């Protein structure tokens, strides 16, 4: 089954068992699926619109030969420029030879995911009522970074500085290979140093080209960090080995990396999970909750033992008096666990309806767009932490006005999540949820909906805007306590 698996090797030696580190492995044999197409198939392109399509997973960069735009009226091909970023492709056609009322047809082929699965070719068409209004907007800026698409080296990724380390015309913010050595950033042992050989003498995951201790003996190759303390003040000096072929910008990036342990200290915070418990069936989706907690603990270097988490949850469950409980588990940095619980109602639905049954799914409540955008919380957005004061403040206002959640977008106008829920929309027979890359928490209920990929239709992720939500045929929010709830978007 296609999924993410966590693997651990256990060797039995006499009476002792030796366990390896847990590694994450992805099995993916499914081709990418095209989701939202803009303008919508059979629709109209208006001023400020872009021509784009999104996919349910990241794709490899396309070649210009993989895309065509045809004027259905004349049968002639239209010249265009295009950009790719993660799950989205945006096209910029030339206005030459186009007239008001022309219908364009876009065809995209050879869409390949990072695992090599190739999707079938697909097409969609739309009408341009006014060429001047729709396509001659010189300031069209899809990623809202202040750089028009016509000159932006990352049309879909916020990058106002337009940095391009390897000078390949693809900005660092959207380049799969920032240093231009032919090795994708995700597997590059030195992502900021051109190093095609990827040598790693001490097998520590850091390539020799950027490793300050290539043989792993804890004796650094050069004195790279020196801290001098004088009373209540201190000074840190950072060094590097400079050679005749050193690249200044790479040395600068390396120096910032060396000092990060001191300049990026963490404020005190906790990790937590909110879990639904029902008498007779226990904790709902417990394995997914513990796995997410473990990922957060690993990332932020919290102490955690899965068996201790499960043990304390089971002990707490023995004291529950209600039939259904909303359980909050809090993990401290040192591994201490605190558990509290309050009675709650069980979720009415835990799946997305079949298309033929959408009309039968009742609308439970209303949501509104949040009054302000999410600010950049860095990695905290992707993990469930106590650093969520903006969410808590907004949720108080949600309850005060009688709604059940508020929907956030990031600084680029991309939808992200609710205060306590993930978002799913239905449009043209396709269920779509905002992409992780937009900055959001991958909820456990959201993950469960993806694991049920054999459902029809399956759920995909893409970059969504407020307009997408407003134009949706149905809108849902979900978490593992509420389940999957259909809502209406109030103005």
Q: Residue 323 is part of which domain span?
A: 271-343
Say what the pLDDT of residue 105 is. Answer: 92
- Do 333 and 407 lie in a common domain? no
Render pLDDT for 154-183 as a digit per residue (tens, 0 to 9): 776 777 888 888 888 888 877 778 888 888
469 & 362 share domain: yes
Environment class of 173 (CB within 10 Å of its CB; exposed 0-12, middle 13-18, buried 19+): buried
Q: Does 173 fall in a domain?
A: no
Q: Is residue 145 part of a domain?
A: no
Here the CATH number for the domain that contains residue 446 is 3.20.10.10
Q: Is residue 385 part of a domain?
A: yes
Q: Are residues 364 and 332 in the same domain?
A: no
What does the pLDDT look like over 203-223, one tens digit per residue?
777 887 777 666 666 555 555
Does residue 261 lie within any of the structural domains?
Answer: no
Given a contact cutoff of 8 angstroms between Cβ atoms, the answer to whether 427 and 471 are in contact is yes
Is residue 194 reached through a cis peptide bond, with omega within 30 degrees of 0 on the bond before it?
A: no
Same domain as 431, residue 400: yes
Of 135, 156, 179, the position where a domain reaches its end is 135
361 and 481 housed in the same domain: yes
DSSP secondary structure, 172-240, as one string:
GGG-SSTT-SSS-TTT-SSTTS--TT---TT-SSS-GGG-S-TTSSS--SS--EEEEEETTEEEEEE--
> 337 and 361: one domain?
no
Contact between 33 and 458 (Cβ < 8 Å): yes
Find the CATH number of the domain harbouring 301: 3.30.470.10
* 359 lies in the same domain as 339: no
Q: Does some domain include residue 420?
A: yes
Contact 222, 240 (CB under 8 A): yes
Q: How many CB atoms lie within 10 A of CB 147?
A: 21
Upstream peptide bond of 162 is cis (omega within 30 degrees of 0): no
CATH number at residue 121: 2.60.40.1220
Cβ 361 vs Cβ 336: under 8 Å: no
**Within a domain: 209:** no
Residues 316 and 440 in one domain: no
321, 434: one domain: no
pLDDT per position as a tens digit, 359-370: 999 999 999 998
Element (H, E) at 133: helix 131-135
Q: Are residues 420 and 364 in the same domain?
A: yes
pTM, two decimal places: 0.54
Q: Cβ contacts of residue 240 below 8 Å, gap of 6+?
A: 222, 224, 251, 254, 255, 258
Single out the residue in 135, 158, 182 at which a domain terminates: 135
Total domain count, the chain: 3
Residue 392 shares a structural domain with residue 288: no
One domain for residues 338 and 369 = no
User: Domain boundary at 343, 367, 385, which?
Assistant: 343
So what's the pLDDT on residue 9? Answer: 74
Residue 128 inside a domain? The answer is yes
pLDDT averaged per 10 residues, the chain (length 491): 67 69 74 77 71 82 88 88 79 78 90 88 86 58 72 75 83 80 80 82 78 64 65 75 78 76 71 95 94 89 91 95 93 93 93 92 93 65 83 85 90 88 93 88 91 68 91 95 94 80
Answer yes or no: is 9 within a domain.
Answer: no
């Amino acid at each position: 089954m296609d999924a993410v698996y966590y693997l651990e090797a256990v060797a039995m030696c006499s009476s002792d068992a030796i366990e390896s580190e847990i590694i994450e492995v992805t099995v993916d044999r499914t081709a990418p699926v095209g989701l939202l197409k803009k303008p919508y198939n059979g629709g109209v392109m208006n001023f400020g619109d872009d021509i784009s399509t999104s996919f349910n997973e990241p794709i490899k960069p396309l070649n210009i030969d993989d895309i065509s735009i045809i004027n259905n009226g004349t049968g002639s091909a239209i010249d265009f420029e295009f950009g790719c970023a993660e799950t989205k492709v945006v096209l910029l056609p030339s206005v030459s030879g186009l007239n008001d009322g022309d219908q364009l047809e876009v065809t995209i082929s050879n869409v390949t995911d990072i695992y090599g699965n190739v999707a079938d070719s697909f097409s969609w068409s739309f009408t341009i009522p006014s060429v001047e209004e729709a396509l001659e907007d010189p300031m069209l800026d899809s990623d809202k970074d202040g750089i028009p698409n016509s000159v932006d080296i990352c049309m879909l990724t916020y990058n106002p500085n337009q940095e391009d380390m390897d000078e390949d015309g693809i900005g660092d913010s959207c380049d799969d290979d920032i240093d231009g050595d032919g090795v994708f950033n995700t597997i590059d042992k030195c992502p900021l140093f051109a190093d095609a050989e990827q040598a790693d003498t001490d097998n520590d995951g850091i390539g020799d080209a950027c490793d300050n201790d290539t043989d792993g003996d804890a004796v650094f190759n050069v004195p790279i960090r020196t801290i001098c303390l004088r009373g209540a003040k201190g000074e840190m000096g950072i060094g590097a080995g400079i050679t005749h072929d050193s690249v200044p910008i790479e040395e600068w990036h390396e120096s910032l990396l060396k000092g990060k342990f001191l300049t990026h200290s963490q404020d005190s915070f906790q990790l937590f999970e909110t879990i639904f418990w029902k008498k007779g069936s226990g904790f709902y989706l417990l394995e997914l909750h513990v796995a997410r907690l473990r990922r957060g603990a690993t990332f932020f270097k919290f102490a955690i033992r899965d068996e201790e988490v499960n043990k304390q949850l089971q002990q707490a469950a023995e004291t529950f008096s209600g039939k259904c409980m909303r359980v909050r588990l809090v993990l401290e940095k040192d591994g201490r666990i605190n558990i509290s619980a309050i009675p709650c109602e069980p979720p009415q639905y835990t799946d997305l309806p079949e298309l033929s049954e959408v009309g039968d799914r009742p609308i439970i409540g209303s949501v509104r767009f949040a009054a302000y955008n999410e600010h950049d919380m860095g990695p905290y957005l992707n993990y469930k932490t106590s650093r969520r004061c903006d969410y808590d403040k907004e949720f108080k206002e949600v309850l005060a006005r009688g709604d059940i959640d508020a929907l956030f977008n990031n600084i680029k106008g991309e939808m992200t999540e609710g205060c306590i829920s993930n978002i799913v929309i239905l449009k043209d027979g396709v269920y779509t949820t905002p992409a992780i890359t937009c900055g959001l928490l991958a909820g456990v209920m959201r993950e469960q909906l993806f694991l049920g990929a054999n459902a029809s239709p399956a759920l995909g992720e893409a970059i969504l805007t407020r307009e997408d939500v407003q134009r949706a045929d149905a809108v849902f929010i979900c978490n593992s306590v509420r389940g999957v709830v259909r809502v209406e978007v109030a103005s």
